[in-house]
A and B are shown apart, each in its own frame.
Chain A
Amino acid sequence: MDLLNVENLTIRFGGVVAVNEVSFSLKAGETLGVIGPNGSGKTTLFNLLSGIYQPTNGEIVLAEKSTKGMRPDEVFHLGISRTFQNGRLFWNLNVLENIMMGMEEVRNSKLFGSLFGTKKEIAIQEQAIEKAFEIMKIFGTLLTSQAHKASKDLPYADRRRLEICRAIASKPRVILLDEPSAGMDGVETETLMNDLIKVKKAMPELSIIVVEHDMAFIKGLVDKVMVLDYGRRLAYGSFDAVAKDENVIKAYLGQGDGAC
């Protein structure tokens, strides 16, 4: 049984079918790349997976539990966390707090405990801070040295790193990365690739779904690729097989306009 099973996922907005009968599955520790041109339904697919939209049809099953009718916070508790395409950090919170917001402890703290500053509450806070530093260490000292800064004051690439840290802070089973390389140049993209490989090494059980425009970026990272076009699954399989797929070449890669 695979960790994540998505079957015939469909969502309609009025007359537009943004995601049309998409199915795929993912084992623990696997990485899936989702590619496709702008407007092909990649981000909509993520919004479905994270519970922001409810599908018109089809089902998402994580570890044998259907996410049907769940709110985003319930989906998160089930073990799916995500990043956002435009970066949605908590801008006025510092780096440390941003990561703490990804942790379970923050939401389990009791009102009574915080009112009277009980020992238990203080211990929870200290543990959370320690854990946050552990997670930041995946990227060496890049984030730990800036832990006191407000996240809006971080350089662009560090924001992306912080977002990844926040997403893995809760030790999720699946993490969804929405265009992590958006707005980055070649060098930055390569660093990010290495960062993701570091994350995979640190958390071998973590499954990753990454959305990208650019096939080259995900080449070394993914185990499987799915190509979307107009909301439909155009191709699905290993990177090499998909790269050779005629439909894909015709619809997306082979046009030679270089726009994507």
Chain B
Amino acid sequence: MIKILLTELLCYLLFLVFVYIEDPVMVTAFIALMIIAGFMLKKTGRNFLQEIEKVYAENLGKVGLLAAAIALTVPFAIMGDSYWLQILNFMMLNAIMALGLNFMTGRAGLICLGYAAFMAIGAYTVGILTLKAGISFWIALPLAGIFASLFGVILGLPALRVKGHYLALVTIAFGLIVQELLLNLESITGGTNGLIDISSPSFFGIDMGTTVNFGFMSMTYQANFYYLCLVLLVITTVVLYRFSNSLFGLALNAMREDQLAAQCYGLNLTNYKLLAFAIGAFFGGIAGGVYAAMINFIAPENFGYSLSIIVISMIILGGLDSIPGALVGAFFLTVFPEKFRAFEDYRVMFYGIIIVLCLLFMREGVLPFKHRIFKPKTAGGEGN
């Protein structure tokens, strides 16, 4: 317990240092130092690392709880810096998407290269419902998830007949179709202009688009959304963890391993594939819904193919089928590029390089999913 707390606090501290240094040279030096420290630890402190790993693996609930508790303090620790709060909000929305995509692609083995489409559907659902129908954000948000799920099923139907590379192509096409629809259904979506002036939600009468006053300290509106995103991220993680670590998750894993064998052992592939698509898409829709309310402006180009690639590179970096991996992947790939704003033009290239490097040298990602869902209780123990 104390070990978990200490290691998490250490990571938190390192993160804060990282946030506070501005000079790109210093940042590079800091990252280099961290990498060297990481290698040193791997070489000399192997026992220590293994011990930490074991403690973490055995107390996942506590790890998550502590991390969430620490995350509550972030807005205060960075003194309400609106720029960094916004980045962290994006990070958490990315993490929600990465978790959703990870469920589809990592757990169920259904490759999806058009995940941004689900975010787009969620964002436009919230935008249209709050702007044109005057529905409250809190009702529109779950509807955004449900609509995205419906589109997930619609994507799933043709995808039932194809697998592997062909499935990847179908999902790319799906992403493009959704984007084209958003561009061309001008009367509903506003076409290239997108939707402007989406109102911020109000929470028990407090407009979330205004500054918050904590009494001793007042913060920009981003802090409101910080806590909203945090709550949603925790819910997403818990829900997907539960689904993954159940007999349902096991069946999805079996389907990923060998579809034909799974079918010959009684799995109704249609149901399981559609469910995996629907559940994965739901969280994309939720992330999109929050995005629309937070930015107050959405346009089709926000949800292009490159966003799909960014999300998939997060789960590849973190390790396919690994929930902690998806979180870590989203964290690194959102926070690090911010320090290198000067090289903004090369951003997508950077994601491409990450994917290539991971696939070449680190197929299992940073935090691979090592232990299985069900383990024998007696003898043998953890194994590998």
A interface residues (Cβ-Cβ under 8 A, vs B): 50-52, 71-73, 76-77, 81-82, 84, 88-94, 96-97, 100-102, 104-107, 109, 111, 113-117, 121, 124-125, 128-129, 133, 144-150, 153, 166, 170
Contacts and interface: CB of A to CB of B under 8 A. Distances in A.
B260 to A, nearest CB: 7
A90 B374 CA distance: 14
Contact of A96 (B251, B260, B376): B376
B242 A90 contact: no
B263 interface: yes
A153 B243 CA distance: 27
B264 A76 contact: yes
Given A82-B264, A90-B257, A124-B247, A148 B383 contact: yes
A101 B374 contact: no
Contacts of A76: 264-266
Contacts of A133: 376
A115 B242 contact: yes
Contacts of B257: 90-93
Contacts of A93: 250, 253-254, 257, 372
Contacts of B262: 90, 101
Contacts of B267: 73, 107
Contacts of B249: 114
Contact of B246 (A50, A72, A89, A114): A114
B268 interface: yes
A170 to B, nearest CB: 7
Contact of B250 (A81, A106, A115, A117): A106
20 contacts: A52-B260, A52-B264, A72-B260, A76-B266, A88-B261, A89-B258, A90-B257, A90-B262, A93-B250, A96-B376, A97-B373, A106-B250, A107-B266, A114-B247, A114-B249, A133-B376, A144-B376, A145-B379, A148-B376, A153-B384
A225 B262 CA distance: 30
A101 B239 contact: no
Contact of B372 (A94, A113, A114, A124): A94
Q: Which interface residue of A89, A93, A104, A129 has the most chain B CB atoms within 10 A?
A: A93
B381 interface: yes
A77 B383 CA distance: 34
Interface string B15-48: 0000000000000000000000000000000000
Contacts of B239: 115
B261 A73 contact: no
A54 to B, nearest CB: 14
Interface of B: 239, 242-243, 246-251, 253-254, 257-258, 260-269, 275, 372-377, 379-384
B263 A145 contact: no
Contact of A115 (B243, B254, B372): B243
Nearest to B261: A88
A153 B384 CA distance: 10
A129 B374 CA distance: 8
Contacts of A82: 264
B266 A92 contact: no
A61 B247 CA distance: 32
Contacts, number: 127
B102 to A, nearest CB: 16
Contacts of A89: 258, 261
A148 B380 contact: yes
A88 B258 contact: yes
A73 B266 CA distance: 4
B142 to A, nearest CB: 15
Given A90-B261, A102-B265, A107-B266, A147 B247 contact: no
B381 A92 contact: no
Contacts of B243: 111, 114-115
B380 A145 contact: yes
Contacts of B265: 73, 76, 81, 101-102, 166, 170
A160 to B, nearest CB: 15
Contacts of B250: 93, 97, 100-101, 106
Given A115-B239, A145-B380, A128 B261 contact: no
Nearest to A147: B376
Most chain B Cβ neighbours within 10 Å, of A94, A125, A144, A170: A94
B376 A104 contact: no
A236 B76 CA distance: 82
Nearest to A130: B377
A100 B269 contact: no
A124 B248 CA distance: 12
Given A93-B254, A145-B380, 9 more contacts: A52-B260, A81-B265, A82-B264, A96-B376, A100-B374, A114-B242, A125-B374, A148-B380, A149-B384
Contact of B247 (A71, A73, A92, A105): A105
Contacts of A149: 383-384
B269 A73 contact: yes
A116 B241 CA distance: 11
Nearest to A98: B254
Nearest to B238: A115
A93 to B, nearest CB: 6
A132 to B, nearest CB: 9
Given A73-B263, A166-B265, A147 B380 contact: yes
Nearest to B376: A147
A166 B264 CA distance: 11
Contacts of B374: 94, 96-97, 100, 125, 129
A71 B269 CA distance: 10
Contacts of B375: 94, 96, 148
Contacts of A52: 260, 264
